[in-house]
Chain A
């Protein structure tokens, strides 16, 4: 038991590396927030675009979604960071992580938003169009607000799951929390810095997970 505490909850080690881990924490947070913002907005835009049912664009959206749903985020990160330079395109690890994770979130969000849009009854469209609103106006003022409500629970869960992948940025040399923790772990030959990072992730994601539970009961799909 003592060995366990010494290995995972060593206070001296924790205090020593706390400032470093906090530095990483801010980077993790910045990355997470940019991914959430970019991913959700892009996803919503794509879903709206899809509502217009233009053949070619539709096909493009479906391909984009399928691609980013089928490929593991880490594969994308690695191709972006270690592969793109061969084509003369060397982006920072942060940029790559932000782009890749945003695309992944956008793909999932598009599917969810689109499902929400198609689930709004045809009568809603007809009623709105009959009062003279255009297709776009109907989408924005009538359909999306109804669709959003239904999409909130699955969207929250998915957003949490994808945003947790910011930890993967450690693989592409971003100095985020897990990177810092791992470096410290190697220096200290002790797992406690990793515990600090775990606590950091809990601080960010545990409230979100609790929120998702609340949201699930509050905005549950009507059956």
Chain B
């Protein structure tokens, strides 16, 4: 292997100097996407889990079918549906909006499952105590059950958030100018792979701390068992 070629193609500082504004722009778009989609997906998921906890038989069947449906469909398929399908139907949604819809739905299915497990880990007495003082079922969920449930499943929630952030890179396929997309554009400009490596490094810088944290959290959960 020719190390000079490797250095030139993968670790080319001149190329970085040339394209870093593009990468920064892409990184910013990724951040915006995550900041929008993480709370939305979580909120929708928590809502699904809450409704599920009301134990209305047919509603729960419906919810589980929906959640399983979206767990079976690759996010990219969903994305192509919303991005190309919605306009064909005559909905004039900007790409960012279509991407947001797809990821919110997809991640809500996962967040919902996790929060549901969290809710089920809380003893029934908590809900009963809250209801016995007159709190409504949404209020009791909101103030008494969910705060505890979320704490119990914090590692799973963190892990899902990590997966969601990673998944936003898929938006590059539908030409949303996020980090990976801009990396591809930059690669086309400089004719070497350095921008792609840079993209990987940026992802690592963002997500490695989260991965480490998770390892630790997961170990602690295990130790508690």
Q: Do chains A and B touch in the complex (CB under 8 A)?
A: yes
Residues of A near B75 (CB, < 8 A) are 164, 167
Q: With an 8 A cutoff between CB atoms, is B204 at the interface?
A: yes
Interface band, chain A = 35 or more
B residues in contact (CB < 8 Å) with A = 1, 5-6, 9-10, 68-69, 71-77, 80-81, 84-85, 88-90, 162-163, 166-170, 172-173, 180, 183-184, 187, 192-193, 196-197, 199-200, 203-204, 207-208, 210-212, 214-215, 218-219, 222, 225
Q: Can you name the residue of chain B whose Cβ is closest to the Cβ of A62?
A: B215
B9 engages A86 (CB within 8 Å): yes
Evaluate contact between A191 and B88: CB separation under 8 angstroms: yes
Instruction: Evaluate whether A119 and B225 lie within 8 angstroms (CB atoms) in the complex, with A75-B180, A86-B10, A201-B77 already known.
Output: yes
> Is A17's CB within 8 Å of the partner chain B?
no
Instruction: Provide 19 A-B residue pairs closer than 8 Å at the C-beta atoms, listed in order of the A residue.
Output: A4-B89, A7-B89, A69-B162, A73-B166, A74-B172, A74-B173, A83-B9, A111-B215, A167-B76, A178-B80, A191-B85, A191-B88, A194-B80, A194-B84, A198-B77, A206-B69, A208-B72, A221-B225, A223-B225
Q: Is the interface of B mostly helix, strand, loop or mixed?
A: helix
Given contacts A115-B219, A118-B222, A167-B77, contact A70 B207 (CB under 8 A): yes
**Cβ of B166 to closest chain A Cβ, rounded Å:** 4
Residues A70 and B208 in contact, CB atoms below 8 Å apart: yes
Asked whether any CB of chain B lies closer than 8 Å to the CB of A33, the reply is no
Indicate if the CB atoms of B73 and A71 lie closer than 8 Å: no
Q: A72 to chain B: which residues have CB within 8 Å?
A: 166-170, 180, 203
- Is A178 touching B76 in the complex (CB atoms < 8 A)? yes
